[in-house]
C-alpha cells in the first residue's frame, strides 16, 4: 500500500497531537509534532536572560532538535537535553507564538520538517503543514473545536499534571495564541484549500481517528 504523507493542522487544543499520534500508530507511520519543535526553541530561548530575534533564530539554525517516539510518547531533545515535559509548561505555551513569528526561525524549522517527511509514511501536525510545509501532502486535515471545548480540554490536561489554572484565564491565553498564530505574516495558521475540516467539539478522539483512517483508505 502507498505510504501517505498526512498533514493535520488546527488551533491550540483541538486534539491534533492525540489524534495524529493514534493515526500514526494505526498505520505504522512516523508521527512528527512540529509544535514541539517550536516549543523546544522557545524553551531554549527562555534559558537566556534577554533572548533576541537573532539569538532565537540561531537556536533554530543549530538544528539540533530531535523527536523520538516510543511507548506512545514523543520525546523531545534540544542540544542533547530532554525537554519533553519542560516544553509543556504554561510559561513556554505563553511565549511560543512570539518565537514562531520570527521568519528565520520558521525558515530553519521548515527545512528540518521537510527533511523529516521526505520518505513518506508520516503524520505531521502543526499550524502550517498543509498550507506551507507539505503542500503536496496526500491528505490534509484541519482539526478544530470551539474555544470553550479546547480550553476545557487543556484545563483538564494541566490540572491532571498538578497546575492550578483558572479556566477563564486559560481560555484568554489560548485565544491570544490563536490570534497571534492566525495573524502572523509568515505561514500563518490557515485551513489549506484542499484540507478536510473535522470539528471535534462534539466528536470523540476515536471518532476523529476513524474519520481520518477512512480518508486514508480512500487515498492510498
Quick one: 2 or 148, whose CB is closer to ligand C5P?
Answer: 148
Residue 38: CA count within 13 A, CB half-sphere: 24
Per rule CB under 6 A, is residue 130 in the interface with ligand C5P? no
Per rule CB under 6 A, is residue 128 in the interface with ligand C5P? yes
Per rule CB under 6 A, is residue 181 in the interface with ligand C5P? yes
Q: Strand runs (DSSP E) across the chain, as ranges? A: 5-9, 30-33, 65-70, 73-78, 81-82, 122-126, 139-144, 196-199
- Choice from 20, 44, 60, 127 touching ligand C5P (CB under 6 A): 127
- Choice from 34, 44, 131, 144 touching ligand C5P (CB under 6 A): 34
* 3-state class (DSSP) for residue 84: coil
Per rule CB under 6 A, is residue 144 in the interface with ligand C5P? no
80-119 burial: b if 16+ Cβ within 10 Å, else e:
eeebbebbbeeebbebbbbbbbbeebbebbbebbeebbee
- Choice from 23, 24, 123, 126 touching ligand C5P (CB under 6 A): 126
**Distance between CA 201 and CA 156 in Å, rounded?**
15
Quick one: 2 or 156, whose CB is closer to ligand C5P?
Answer: 156
Extract the annotated binding site for ATP: 10-18
Extract the annotated binding site: 10-18
Binding site for ligand C5P (CB under 6 A): 12, 34-35, 38-39, 96-97, 100, 126-129, 177, 181
Amino acid at each position: 500500500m502507498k505510504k501517505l504523507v498526512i498533514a493535520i493542522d488546527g488551533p491550540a487544543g483541538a486534539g491534533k497531537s492525540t489524534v495524529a499520534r493514534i493515526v500514526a500508530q494505526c498505520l505504522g507511520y512516523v508521527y512528527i509534532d512540529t509544535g514541539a519543535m517550536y516549543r523546544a526553541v522557545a524553551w531554549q530561548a527562555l534559558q537566556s536572560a534577554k533572548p533576541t530575534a537573532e539569538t532565537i533564530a540561531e537556536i533554530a539554525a543549530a538544528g539540533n532538535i530531535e523527536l523520538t517516539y516510543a511507548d506512545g510518547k514523543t520525546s523531545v531533545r534540544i542540544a542533547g537535553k530532554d525537554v519533553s515535559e519542560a516544553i509543556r509548561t504554561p510559561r513556554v505555551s505563553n511565549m511560543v507564538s512570539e518565537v514562531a513569528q520570527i521568519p528565520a526561525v520558521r525558515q530553519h524549522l521548515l527545512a528540518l520538517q521537510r527533511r523529516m517527511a521526505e520518505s513518506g509514511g508520516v503524520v505531521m501536525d502543526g499550524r502550517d503543514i498543509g498550507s506551507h510545509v507539505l503542500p503536496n501532502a496526500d491528505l490534509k486535515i484541519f482539526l478544530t473545536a470551539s474555544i470553550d471545548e479546547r480550553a476545557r480540554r487543556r484545563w483538564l490536561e494541566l490540572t491532571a499534571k498538578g497546575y492550578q489554572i483558572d479556566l477563564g484565564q486559560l481560555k484568554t491565553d489560548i485565544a491570544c495564541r490563536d490570534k497571534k498564530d492566525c495573524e502572523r505574516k509568515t505561514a500563518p495558521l490557515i485551513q489549506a484549500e484542499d484540507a478536510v475540516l473535522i470539528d471535534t467539539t462534539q466528536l470523540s478522539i476515536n471518532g476523529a481517528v476513524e474519520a481520518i483512517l477512512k480518508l486514508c483508505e480512500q487515498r492510498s
